[in-house]
Every structure is written in C-alpha cells, then in structure tokens.
Amino acid sequence: DSGVTQTPKHLITATGQRVTLRCSPRSGDLSVYWYQQSLDQGLQFLIQYYNGEERAKGNILERFSAQQFPDLHSELNLSSLELGDSALYFCASSVSSGRSRETQYFGPGTRLLVL
Amino acid sequence: GENVEQHPSTLSVQEGDSAVIKCTYSDSASNYFPWYKQELGKRPQLIIDIRSNVGEKKDQRIAVTLNKTAKHFSLHITETQPEDSAVYFCAARFSGGYNKLIFGAGTRLAVHP
C-alpha cells in the first residue's frame, strides 16, 4: 500500500456525462500528479499540482480539469465524456514540487468505462 | 520534444534466465530515472531508480545502468522468477518540468517456469 488513495475504484457512465475522480496523497506529500492509462498503453502524464497550484501540464484535454484543495486532496474532472476516455486514471504523490529528484508513489487507480 | 523510447515491447524468458529492458531519452538534462513494475490491474510500483550522478545501482536481483553520454538506461533482472512477470515502465524526469515524469511505452515480461 503506497498511502495514496483514490475513489471511486470503478466508474461506469455514458457518453456526454461528467465525472469527478478523487485522490488523497500520502501524508506529508504536497505534490499530486494525474496520469491516464488506456488499455495496453503506457502512462500519459496529465497534470501536476503542488500545494494547491498547478505546476506542470501534459497531454490533458480541454474537457478535463483538475484542482488541489487546501487539505491537499485533488480532484480530476472529466466532462463531455467520449468512448475513448475509457481508461485507468492514476494519481501519484511526492513530497514537494520536484526541485529535487523525488519518487512518485501511485494510488490504486480509478477504472473509468464510458458506454 | 520530451520522449522516452523503451524496447522491447514484449519479452519472454525461461525461469532463471536474465532479462534486459532498454530505454533512451531525449532531454540531455534529465537527471532521474525510475523503473516501475505494474502487475495486471494494479498500480505501478517503484522497483528501482537511479540518479544522474551514478552509472549503476543494484538491489538484489535487479540492477539499473545509466549511460548519460548515449542518453540511455537499462534494467537488468537476473535469475528471473515467474513472479517477475509484469509490465515494466521506465521513466525520465525532464528538466524544467518540476517532477514531471515521462514514461516509456512499457515492456511486458513473461517468465515461463
């Protein structure tokens, strides 16, 4: 167990809908990262937050947004869902913003299925 | 651009043999290279990492080597066991991106008894 938690574990929804995925980082970690893993694909970096502020962006669609709250948990919002958004969404956390070379610890993921 | 290439995409070995997975990266300023193991349906778990100031690191049956000049790094697993079967991802931390990691496409390792 990495100490990173994600809810829900599974999510089934329809095209056009909006969902929110939640992540709680390890105790003491200030940075949260979101990744998308499609079937048999690698890990695509979406976005990073540090202590409530956005720090880095990857291949995140405009239909997707994220935020990090004062208690450091983060939410990833996916809207106008399409079939191709079906994937595993992972959250990871690390101690700080990454000025040093830090380990990222992954949560168990949320499996999203868009029908 | 930011890119990490990983080879091979699949690797099949007999139990007890060695396995080698290779990655190349594009950013010469990259300074941190972790390797993650992902079992089916599970989270990626860090198995070993290497910083740019060393050329090799070992942890029991696992070792990683780094060649900064050639911009490539490799994972070596010796005396493979069936429980080593998983997908392995290499990653590189790119400069200017805080702790942003770019992952390779993954290698599916199968160890046959």
Tens-digit pLDDT profile for residues A39-91: 767 899 999 999 999 988 888 999 999 999 999 999 999 999 999 999 999 99
**Residue in B33, B35, B42, B43 to test binding to A, most A beta-carbons within 10 Å:** B43
What's CA B111's distance to the chain center, in Å? 17
Task: Answer yes or no: are the C-beta atoms of A78 and A64 closer than 8 Å.
Answer: yes
Look at A33-42, A57-66, B34-43, B68-77 and tell me which has the smallest mean pLDDT: A33-42
Q: From A56, which residue of chain B is nearest by alpha-carbon distance? A: B97
Q: Give me the pLDDT at residue B29, please.
A: 80
B69 has a chain A CB within 8 A of its CB: no
d(CA A13, CA A23): 19
Cβ neighbour number for residue A11 with a 10 Å cutoff = 18
Does residue B13 have a pLDDT over 90? yes
Residue A20 class from Cβ within 10 Å (0-12 exposed, 13-18 middle, 19+ buried)?
Answer: middle
Tens-digit pLDDT profile for residues A43-57: 999 999 999 999 888
The mean per-residue pLDDT over the stretch B51-57 comes to 87
